């Protein structure tokens, strides 16, 4: 399931957790500051002995957890010395005493003594939010923003949504923020930041329609505003919408390449692969010297199985990487651009059966986090060359101290067993792994797929149902179980429900669309099945999808089209058993 963005980060170290309707979180977060020397009251040069003594008594009372006494002493000191640090400590002590009204009174006294203090204003606003007095935050927010120079106010406006990240009534929060920020709309340079902040809180309130309107308002005022582009990115959905237009305009107006890359990755996440590839092409035109843009373009081409385009893009990426020094390479997404580029180049070389070249690319991946996938790839290459003993030795030497290492080793051992045609052994290994890692949904899913391969459909179904009970958003399992039921022509109503739910998570996933097409076929809806399977195959040319689509075409009497579809599938993967069995059943060809 697509996760919502987190807009909250600490506004002050002392307020490490935003206030909800209860003050408890704020009090606990505030308490975390007491252990640091900076948080305690510090004597000032020239301070009287009485003031020093009073500050010391307040801190000692705090250590004794007598926060009421500590607050009284520190507030008296603050008023006597007019010291903002003393006001801050007094506010903290009131919070620790769980007295929100006293904390608010103290913070307001601090703000009255220092009208331009952003720290005091933040305390007032946070405490009001914690007391669930959202409407009362409007005036403090306005006053605090007005205290910023115009050049700094946009950044301050961008921070406003964080105050309301954990409130219960986020719809009310959105209204409050819009009201509080309304005066800033008279300043042309602040229109976009205001609408970005308003839209952010609306999105937090799950009001995507209002958030989109806010994003459009901001984009009309300032098409190149980064905050508006970020908001639009979160609003991009499975179907094209005005949020896409906002991002297109932002990118074409020479927005930073990283924003464009984030948009492309979002499209890929939503299975809008063709659009993602078109945007990646645009990025490499606008930013021809960006190795990361070429990598993303090549990665999507690889996903589309367009190997020529993949090679071309990755060759350009590698060329740019070769020109960059080591420091520049490390700066590119923390060195991950080079790692991913060389890994994909290794995969391409492996596909071409140029194992020496593939290994030379893998040799460039030296970080510890890369070694797991490097070892797995080398195991696969050894298996492809029939070097089972060498593969076994490599697997035996793989580390397994860390959980991720152990999982990687299990995956490699499964590959080795399958290379030896021992699917039953692979299934036993995976079921043992499920016991070792009972909360790992991917191991359970792989075990279910292994059970399917050894025709233990009862075990497969049991594993998938248990997995879905523990991880109800694991849509791959919904699809697998739904497809299995449809393939056996049983419980078609449940199969349809499962696959429809899977589609709600990934509406453009070609494999799930294929499953729905198979449900329609089993239900006798040939026309609907034909449409769905054509869509799936066009989105993802795949041998198994070709098998299904061809069978539907055959059932519709379009036998030439069916055989042509199967032939295309065999060109993609001549060893696919589902496709080969389908062709044998209908054409009696070996």
Question: Does residue 318 sit within a domain?
Answer: no
Rg (CA), the chain: 31
Q: What is the pLDDT of residues 405-425, one digit of tens each?
A: 899 899 999 999 998 999 999
Question: Does residue 582 sit within a domain?
Answer: yes
Half-sphere exposure of residue 78: CA atoms within 13 angstroms, side-chain side: 27
Question: Does residue 232 sit within a domain?
Answer: no
Cα distances (Å, whole numbers) of residue 223 to 154, 215, 226, 243, 344: 15, 10, 9, 12, 36
State the angle between helix axes of 100-113 and 118-130 in degrees (0 to 180), rounded to the nearest 10.
Answer: 160
Question: Does residue 226 sit within a domain?
Answer: no
Rounded Cα distance between 1 and 4, Å, is 9
- The answer on pLDDT for 568 being more than 80 is yes
Pick the closest to residue 171 from 206, 137, 142 (CA basis). 206
Tokens of 576: 């696919």
Rounded Cα distance between 563 and 583, Å, is 8
Burial of 491 from C-beta contacts in 10 A (0-12 / 13-18 / 19+): middle
Total residues found in the chain within this entry = 590
- The answer on pLDDT for 7 being more than 90 is no
Q: What is the pLDDT of residues 440-492, one digit of tens each?
A: 999 999 999 999 999 999 999 999 999 999 999 999 999 999 999 999 999 99
Q: What is the pLDDT of residues 79-116, one digit of tens each?
A: 988 989 999 999 999 999 999 999 999 999 999 999 99
In this predicted structure, what is the pLDDT of residue 327?
60
Residue span of the structural domain in which 582 resides: 500-590
Residue 132 backbone phi and psi in degrees, to 5: 65, 30
Q: What is the pLDDT of residues 200-214, one digit of tens each?
A: 999 999 999 999 999
Question: Does residue 251 sit within a domain?
Answer: no
Over range 244-270, report the average pLDDT.
90
Rounded Cα distance between 11 and 129, Å, is 14
- The answer on pLDDT for 43 being more than 90 is no
Question: Does residue 69 sit within a domain?
Answer: no
In this predicted structure, what is the pLDDT of residue 130?
93
The model's pTM: 0.69
Rounded Cα distance between 114 and 136, Å, is 20
Question: Does residue 198 sit within a domain?
Answer: no
Number of domains in the chain: 1
Question: Does residue 28 sit within a domain?
Answer: no
In this predicted structure, what is the pLDDT of residue 46?
54
For 287, the enclosing helix (H) or strand (E) is: none
Residues in Cβ contact with 60 at an 8 Å cutoff, skipping those fewer than 6 apart: none
Tokens of 365: 């991946």
CB 90 within 8 A of CB 72: no
Pick the closest to residue 496 from 529, 470, 473, 534 (CA basis). 529
Q: What is the pLDDT of residues 275-330, one digit of tens each?
A: 999 999 999 999 999 999 999 999 999 998 899 999 999 999 999 988 876 666 55
pLDDT band at 51 (very low <50, low <70, confident <90, very high): confident
């Amino acid at each position: 399931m697509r996760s919502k963005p987190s807009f909250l980060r600490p506004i002050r170290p002392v307020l490490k957790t935003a206030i909800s309707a209860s003050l408890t979180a704020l009090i606990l977060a505030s308490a975390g500051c007491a252990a640091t020397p900076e948080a305690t009251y510090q004597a000032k040069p020239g301070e009287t002995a009485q003031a020093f003594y009073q500050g010391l008594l307040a801190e000692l009372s705090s250590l004794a957890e007598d926060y009421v006494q500590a607050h009284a002493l520190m507030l008296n000191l603050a008023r006597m010395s007019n010291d903002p640090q003393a006001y801050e400590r007094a506010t903290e002590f009131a919070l620790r005493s769980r007295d929100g009204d006293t904390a608010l009174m103290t913070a307001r006294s601090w703000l009255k003594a220092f009208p331009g203090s952003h720290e005091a204003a933040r305390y007032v606003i946070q405490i009001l939010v914690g007391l669930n007095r959202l409407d009362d935050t409007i005036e403090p927010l306005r006053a605090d923003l007005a205290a910023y120079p115009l050049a700094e106010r946009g950044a301050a406006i961008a921070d406003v949504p964080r105050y309301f990240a954990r409130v219960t009534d986020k719809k009310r929060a959105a209204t409050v923020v819009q009201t509080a920020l309304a005066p800033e709309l008279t300043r042309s340079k602040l229109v976009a930041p205001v609408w970005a902040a308003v839209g952010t809180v609306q999105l937090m309130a799950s009001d995507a329609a209002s958030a989109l309107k806010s994003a459009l308002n901001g984009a009309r005022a300032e098409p190149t505003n980064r905050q508006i582009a970020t908001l639009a990115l979160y609003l991009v959905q499975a179907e094209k919408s005005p949020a896409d237009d906002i991002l297109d305009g932002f990118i074409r107006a020479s927005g930073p390449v990283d924003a464009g890359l984030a948009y492309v990755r979002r499209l890929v996440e939503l299975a809008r692969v063709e659009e993602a590839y078109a945007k990646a092409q645009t990025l490499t035109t606008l930013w021809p010297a960006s190795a990361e843009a070429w990598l993303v373009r090549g990665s999507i081409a690889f996903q589309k199985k367009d190997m020529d385009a993949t090679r071309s893009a990755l060759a350009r990426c590698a060329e740019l990487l070769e020109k960059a020094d080591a420091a520049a390479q490390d700066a590119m997404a923390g060195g991950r651009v080079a790692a991913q580029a060389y890994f994909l180049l290794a995969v391409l070389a492996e596909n071409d059966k140029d194992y020496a070249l593939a290994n030379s690319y893998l040799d460039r991946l030296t970080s510890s986090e890369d070694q797991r996938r490097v070892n797995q790839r080398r195991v696969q290459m050894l298996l492809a060359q029939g070097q089972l003993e060498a593969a076994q030795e490599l697997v035996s030497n793989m580390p397994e101290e860390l959980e991720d290492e152990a999982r990687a080793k299990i995956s490699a051992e499964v590959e080795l067993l399958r290379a030896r045609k021992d699917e039953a052994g692979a299934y036993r290994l995976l079921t043992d792994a499920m016991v070792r890692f009972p909360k790992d949904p991917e191991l359970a899913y792989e075990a279910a797929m292994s059970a399917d391969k050894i025709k233990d459909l009862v075990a497969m179904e049991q594993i998938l149902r248990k997995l879905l009970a523990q991880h109800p958003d694991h849509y791959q399992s919904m699809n697998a179980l739904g497809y299995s039921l449809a393939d056996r022509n049983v419980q078609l109503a449940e199969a349809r429900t499962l696959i429809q739910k899977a589609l709600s998570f990934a509406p453009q996933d070609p494999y799930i669309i294929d499953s729905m097409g198979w449900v329609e076929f089993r239900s006798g809806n040939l026309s609907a099945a034909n449409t769905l399977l054509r869509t799936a195959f066009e989105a993802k040319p795949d041998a198994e999808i070709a098998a299904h689509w061809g069978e539907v075409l055959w059932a519709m009497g379009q036998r030439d089209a069916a055989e042509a579809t199967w032939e295309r599938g065999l060109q993609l993967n001549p060893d696919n058993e589902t496709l080969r069995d389908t062709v044998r059943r209908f054409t009696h060809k070996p």
